[in-house]
Structure 1
């Protein structure tokens, strides 16, 4: 039947829906990294989650971000409840993630490679929804800290359990719990030693907390790790949401933060009004105690940045394969191929370095050199990958044109989310200062970096030629603060190139040529003539 003459809405030259996709099968760089970094014994688990993340969880992510969390401070009768209500999709994402080990796999398996496998799970989940990665990361990272205190063993075990229970109930009534954090105060920011919250010892061994937190993450968690000033100095505490008798603990949620991104999850401001908490570690050692979590949370910042770049690139590649302009598909046009290939190099280097660090974290308890490498490489990688994510996501967004700015696509959400990881767990300056501190005070970190870079030599003449300045800079005195960012950027690029070169990746020569032989321009799509763009593009998505 012929359409009426006034009918104009014929959809042509538009891509099919991106999802459902299998995020594991699609990602050859991830699959190679999993095998290379010792997690190949978990392939079945990863394959199952990759299929889920690219289908059901991908859809839930849109719902969870469309309907943002709401704060209810009081019930209908005036009773204080301090409750955050989430869309059911949020709970669906959390339930799937916890059940598949995104929070607990590292601690439930004694098999080597569990940390690397859990890192791959986190990377897959983050592509479906970044907001829920916040409580998942904090729950995962809190387990070794909680295990320090025999009296908190139940908390540690239930944080590592594969059971999600969103009910407000005392821990004894739950099979699994989630953990949040409260470190930052208005007057201190990253300088947590300036915290003013006071912790007063009680007769039963607990402490009463009085004060405020400017950022209180995942406020519906079952418990929170917080810093406060005890008589002996800044100390770390576990503060439960519900007391053992089921009563609500003495804190008040003041408001939810109106955030740039991360809309599926909630962050809040909170006041402690005599809240009961239990100390973890010695008084005055709160910062040192929390630092046990930092390597794990920084790794997840790396994974999150890599995941955002990966999903943005996959969306751009999908669009370019379907869209025709000026007589050819976008993916066939030389300048667009240059952009896509350049993004592909960035993404593959990001996941390669992240998974290498995950292997170091896994081996750290058994291998001092790997422990030293993990100590410094998490700060290096966290700084660099989180700086690259917003630029890469925006470039991918541009590949879609105007539709990449429309909320029904995923690109606006990815773009809003991309800057978060550069701020969370310490801004770029904090990471660079930490690298300087490690190199100056912990010689093993310098030795571990040198060993990592030297192990990649002898495989590629171009790499060998350009890596010498970085090796010399590590052998020389540590630069002052003003030169810290330049040093850390150089180390990050060198480490990425080393991992790719050692792995024999087909994109390693292009990465070395475009990032080390010549300084990479600010804009993507600037690969020099002769760089193999076909190899990079072919590894992004199956045709």
Structure 2
């Protein structure tokens, strides 16, 4: 007799898909919960902005803002060269999320607003705002940075500054190509580099010839890397009769007609995907001279100081953002019977990353403070800014890719998946060491400053002297630096600039950070008690003290 089968048991739906040992979503979180940032904000003269920075930090860490960032990168800008009727339009279409990010950034004063605020610390406040709002998306920081940097260049031509500066410093974001003076707010871009020269702008072949109208020229040529082509106006370098000169190029002319600004294509970039970068062609393009003819490089040098500061700022932001992501993950993930955050080697890695992040943030705010005081006429701060910004641009942006890779690895395979957001940050990191001059360009610029502007070296050593006697390893490193300055060669420029950066960061931490942070930084970065990867802090390092300060919510 065949036995009667037992009644089938109801199967539990998705029995193999219980989700365990995975962290919850990080959002919402507070991007301003960063002790080093808030201390630096107060120290550099912008404590009055703390409430606004904290409010912006909460907004940056909101689920809504983080989703804007994701969508702006998934739905990349699209070039439309012609309309449906065949008319040339050269428009770039962006996803609504891009516009949400831009509107918030401009409204929060992260573009050119500080130039219109007669208040000490205004430029520091902007930098601090960028350090927290940058937790969203790096791409839209490009047009805000260029708009910020355009104002001091425009001021060399007062009649143009009178027209455009109030619109560039506005907190109104008004996208779309229209007559600039009919809009409530403007964005500025830059067209400097060409395919045959890159950073060597003196080899530019774009030409400019004067028209019958004083100060008005026509341009002909091709630019190789012009980001944010949807901006309203551009500062462009071209060869005028008296040599390389700077020009203002509006996309729409005063009579409402389109200027000749033909976008040949958008660049297919490694990262920075939310932001469009283009190759525009000029052919009879109308332009207004900015600064004296033949003095184009001198006209834009202040602009370069501004954008280089923003490169440092964005690298520091990526470090902090990925450290926060890594810290959140290891708090909620267990392996081999314990939470990752409780395992000594993981704590070593996180503490080492935290040291690097704090050093980058502290230096960024010191540079912003120097910029703010230089604008107000402090000659010593101007000299310090001149050399320290190039040093910081070289070093902090160089540290970014290795840092983001290590932070990504803290998430293991989860970090290698696009959904985590970490691959986007990793692809973004190398850009900051390339934009506004690669490593070699910045290292050589430091040498140029030392040779041509002797006051810059003195300004740097005056800053280092403020920490003299506080740490023997720092004192020894400063002595080595003095020796390198007298014997260094062009081939050794990177070695020199690296030591400048490390001594500068160490001096700031010795003066302003707790002993746990300063001692570990000096022991590893200057004392040689360090390996070749993050996570090789010596046993004597106060890892718990470093993490308690660095991680939101404390060390555990």
1 CA distance for matches of 2:275 and 2:52?
Answer: 26
Q: CA deviation at 1:53?
A: 1.0
1:311-330 deviation line (CA, Å, top 9, x unaligned) = 11110000000000001000
RMSD of Structure 2 on Structure 1 (CA): 1.4
Match for residue 36 of structure 2? Answer: 29
2 CA distance for matches of 1:316 and 1:6?
Answer: 30
Match for residue 484 of structure 2? Answer: 473
Q: CA deviation at 1:6?
A: 6.0
Q: CA deviation at 1:121?
A: 1.0
Match for residue 175 of structure 2? Answer: 166
2 CA distance for matches of 1:108 and 1:542?
Answer: 37
Tell me which of 63, 70, 85 is aligned to 1:62. 70
1 CA distance for matches of 2:293 and 2:475?
Answer: 49
Is residue 135 of structure 2 the alignment partner of residue 127 of structure 1? Answer: yes
Deviates more, 1:300-309 or 1:460-469: 460-469
**Secondary structure at the counterpart of residue 229 of structure 1:** strand
**Secondary structure at the counterpart of residue 214 of structure 1:** coil
The 5 Å alignment of 1:219-258 reads 219-258=229-268
Whether the 8 Å contact between 1:251 and 1:274 is mirrored in structure 2 is no
Match for residue 48 of structure 1? Answer: 55
List alignment gaps of at least 5 residues for structure 2. Answer: 1-8
2 CA distance for matches of 1:402 and 1:242?
Answer: 48
Q: CA deviation at 1:466?
A: 3.9
What is the TM-score normalised by the length of structure 2?
0.95
**Secondary structure at the counterpart of residue 340 of structure 1:** helix
Q: CA deviation at 1:167?
A: 2.0
Match for residue 404 of structure 1? Answer: 415
Match for residue 370 of structure 2? Answer: 360
Match for residue 3 of structure 2? Answer: none
Based on CA coordinates, which of the two structures has the bigger radius of gyration? 2
Is residue 324 of structure 2 the alignment partner of residue 314 of structure 1? Answer: yes
What is the TM-score normalised by the length of structure 1?
0.97
Q: CA deviation at 1:472?
A: 3.9
Is residue 177 of structure 2 the alignment partner of residue 154 of structure 1? Answer: no
Q: CA deviation at 1:60?
A: 0.7
Match for residue 535 of structure 1? Answer: 545
Match for residue 191 of structure 2? Answer: 182
Q: CA deviation at 1:532?
A: 0.7
Match for residue 265 of structure 1? Answer: 275
Is residue 463 of structure 2 the alignment partner of residue 452 of structure 1? Answer: yes
List alignment gaps of at least 5 residues for structure 1. Answer: none
Is residue 346 of structure 2 the alignment partner of residue 336 of structure 1? Answer: yes
1:89-125 deviation line (CA, Å, top 9, x unaligned) = 0010000000010013321221111111111111112
2 CA distance for matches of 1:2 and 1:204?
Answer: 86
**Secondary structure at the counterpart of residue 261 of structure 1:** coil
**Secondary structure at the counterpart of residue 284 of structure 1:** coil
Deviates more, 1:364-373 or 1:459-468: 459-468
1:455-474 deviation line (CA, Å, top 9, x unaligned) = 11132344334432224434
Match for residue 195 of structure 1? Answer: 204
2 CA distance for matches of 1:441 and 1:198?
Answer: 30
Is residue 446 of structure 2 the alignment partner of residue 441 of structure 1? Answer: no
The 5 Å alignment of 1:457-536 reads 457-474=468-485, 476=486, 479-506=488-515, 507-518=517-528, 520-536=530-546
2 CA distance for matches of 1:7 and 1:293?
Answer: 60
Whether the 8 Å contact between 2:477 and 2:503 is mirrored in structure 1 is no
2 CA distance for matches of 1:368 and 1:535?
Answer: 38
1 CA distance for matches of 2:117 and 2:65?
Answer: 25
2 CA distance for matches of 1:302 and 1:519?
Answer: 26
Task: Count how many residue pairs are aligned between Structure 1 and Structure 2.
Answer: 540
2 CA distance for matches of 1:466 and 1:2?
Answer: 72
2 CA distance for matches of 1:438 and 1:182?
Answer: 25
Match for residue 142 of structure 1? Answer: 150
2 CA distance for matches of 1:537 and 1:3?
Answer: 46
